[in-house]
Amino acid sequence: MVLNSGSSSLKFQVIATDLERIKEYKDERLCRGEVERLGGEAIVSFQAGQQPKQKFTAPLRDISAALDYLVRYISSDKSGVTDIHSTGDIHAVGHRIVHGGEMFKESALIDEKVLNGIVDCIDLAPLHNPNNIRGILAARDLFGSRVPQIAVFDTSFHHTLPEQAYLYAIPYHLYRRHKIRRYGFHGTSHRYVAFRYRALRGLTREQTNIITFHLGNGCSADAIKGGNSVDTSMGMTPLEGLVMGTRSGDLDPAIVNLIANKEGMSVSEVETLLNTQSGLLGVSGLTNDMRGLESELAEHDDRRVRLAIEVFCYRARKYIGAFLACMQGADAVVFTGGIGENSPDIRARICAGMNWAGLKIDDARNQQTVGREGLISTDDSKLLAYAIPTDEELLIARDTVRVIEGQPHPS
Ligand code: ADP
């Protein structure tokens, strides 16, 4: 079972996998879904295999109640999941953990030491790690200590960043004292699409030199050289870097104080504004949803909507240039996440005018590659472009198996 525990939601999947299935790519998704609006009448979305999605409500006060309810539901005849009949049919739990700090360089079996380490990282991700910990404790309560639980960190893929990429140019003692540095996030997604890229091209890990874009509600870019993450756009927190649905991404830090003074807000209120009222939503004044913006642009050619899309794409393109310089050239740009997988228009806008770098998008291939993996650049493009759907849950499930079996991670 794969769990992603948020402040008021619990995303879950149950995946049947083992070392043999991983090798043959025969992992099987038994069910997936999400419980939203925990605390009151929660909304449960549920899908068993390829069957139609179900949606219903249930009074669920917290993650623990939601997990209990879900496992009961999955085990029942109503769910349509035929392979799970009781709690005992869940053999392990893999958790998405947002922040692993400098301590966790790879996925880990959760014992007391690892749990304490995740607690120690609360300072670095006060909004996320406490919820992740609630998920771990809930699973421990429900399944007991005999069912192994594994932590898969959003940050750990970026542990290979060199000092020059992760240090901020602020007094060094602030790094020493408070661990203020770039960590990067979306590591599981960047790692997964890098793995799929090399599978598609028949390359080794060492031959993997790419720039990956995870463009969802949160957005980040990653420079992957020789299979390792060598620079990334998100920083100490997920606020830095690309323009996102509601986050500003990069900005002059002096603006924080300026907004606070001019608008009579506290610094933490400004931080909330930069996280929740900015980005595509802030510029367009309309929505954080790229699909909504694209249809609005097509129908009404609204100026602020156009601006939001232009700022978003321009900033992403800027990172291609920066990362090409950082990693002395790359072989491909890979797009993933809701926007990266599904919007040929945004991919084309980001790559526009990149001929000088050998990047040419093939219009037909780009248009046809929606929600599936494929090459979207022309045959004579020197810098290739791919769209590759991410699957963080599958990677978490596979890591869970590998950690339990004591197998080294391939990436
Ligand atoms: P999250 O980061 O929350 O997991 P997703 O990866 O699902 O989010 O990405 C959500 C974003 O993807 C939204 O901006 C949504 O509008 C966008 N998106 C999904 N489908 C399309 C599409 N067909 N065209 C354009 N944007 C899309």
Ligand 1 centroid, distance to 292 Cα (angstroms): 10
Strands (E) across 265-340 are located at 332-336
* Alpha carbon distance 263, 267 (integer Å): 11
Q: What's the rounded Cα separation, in Å, for the pair 232 and 213?
A: 10
pLDDT at 409: 73
Q: Verify whether ligand 1 is closer than 6 Å to residue 235 (CB atom).
A: no
H or E, element range at 54: strand 54-59
Tens digit of each residue's pLDDT (9 = 90 or more) over 360-401 = 999 999 999 999 999 999 999 999 999 999 999 999 999 999
Local structure of 370: helix, strand or coil:
coil
Helix, coil or strand: residue 215: strand
Q: What is the pLDDT of residues 13-68, one digit of tens each?
A: 999 999 999 999 999 999 999 999 999 999 999 999 999 999 999 999 999 999 99
| pLDDT (0 to 100) of residue 411 | 58
Residue 127: its pLDDT value, please? 86
**215: Cβ below 6 Å to ligand 1?**
no
Q: Going by DSSP bridges, is the β-strand pair 219-225/93-97 parallel, antiparallel, or unpaired? A: unpaired
Atom 13 of ligand 1: nearest residue by CA position: 289
pLDDT (average), residues 4-10: 93
Mind telling me the catalytic residues?
Answer: 154
Q: Is 343 in the pocket of ligand 1 (CB under 6 A)?
A: yes
* Both tokens assigned to 324: 């090409």
Distance between CA 242 and CA 221 in Å, rounded?
7
- Find where tokens 């794969």 sit: 2
pTM for this prediction: 0.96
* DSSP state letters, 106-149: S-EE--HHHHHHHHHGGGT-TTTHHHHHHHHHHHHHHH-TTS-E
CA 164 to centroid of chain Cα atoms: 24
Tokens standing for 7? 């402040």
- Residue with the two structure tokens 């367009």: 284
